[in-house]
Amino acid sequence: MKRIALVTGANKGLGFETARQLGAKGIKVLIASRNKERGNTAVETLKAEGLDVELAQLEATNQAEIQALAQKIEAEYGKLDILVNNAGIIHQDEPLGVNTAEGISDETLKETFDVNFFSIVNLTQTLLPLLKKSDAGRIVNLSSILGSNTEQSDVESPYYTVKPFAYDASKTALNSFTVHLAASLEDTNVKVNSAHPGWVKTDLGTENAPMEIVDGAKTSVSLALAEETDFNGKFVHMGEEVAW
């Protein structure tokens, strides 16, 4: 039976390219998208390339939709082999060049954490029974080098001045989830890692970024493929560990 992957936020950008690269490996990919129309467009594009993909409409902060998706996957496939938690936001109140720690609002913090942390924990916990049925389950949490406290506290780091607090803190929390979940699952067939894609030409990364989307997806794809990684509970970029 084919391996089954779910990629969140897969209607565009890194999520779309991750789905494309996984599909090219012969994996059945469920395209999770909040927007049904955009999700269908992504599915049609990848199907035209000969890939086995299907829409999985999902509002990641909606518990009812998460439960419905889990039930659908169980009924149709009986397992889930790969979960790529790609969906994420940076709030409009957080310009990348500004340290927002002094003035960030509760609302911005809550909205950012709801999408970048709480919804991922919830979705992952809900899908864990299905991932445990895989011979080689893989969970990839899309993080960012901006969530590295090592980099953020190093005045020599090129990222030292990039401090959108809510976004950075949400990725730090996500990294902590990776470490804890990997330890909890160490006696199972499921491995969990955080991926730093690099600075990529996406809506978030902007056109100023040096990396193309096709390269930005490679870390997530590598961590998702059972035969290509021995990492577990690590923060990884292009096959190399990143400091927490």
d(CA 190, CA 231): 11
Contact 202, 150 (CB under 8 A): no
CA dist 119 and 141 (Å) reads 12
Check if 167 is active-site: yes
**Of the residues 28, 163, 167, 201, which is catalytic?**
167
160 catalytic? Reply is no
Quick one: how many helices (H) and strands (E) in the chain? 9, 8
- Closest by alpha carbon to 58, among 43, 48, 49, 70? 70
The HSE-up count of residue 192 (CA atoms within 13 Å, CB side) is: 25
Active-site residue, selected from the candidate residues 28, 163, 171, 201: 171
Q: Which residues are catalytic?
A: 167, 171
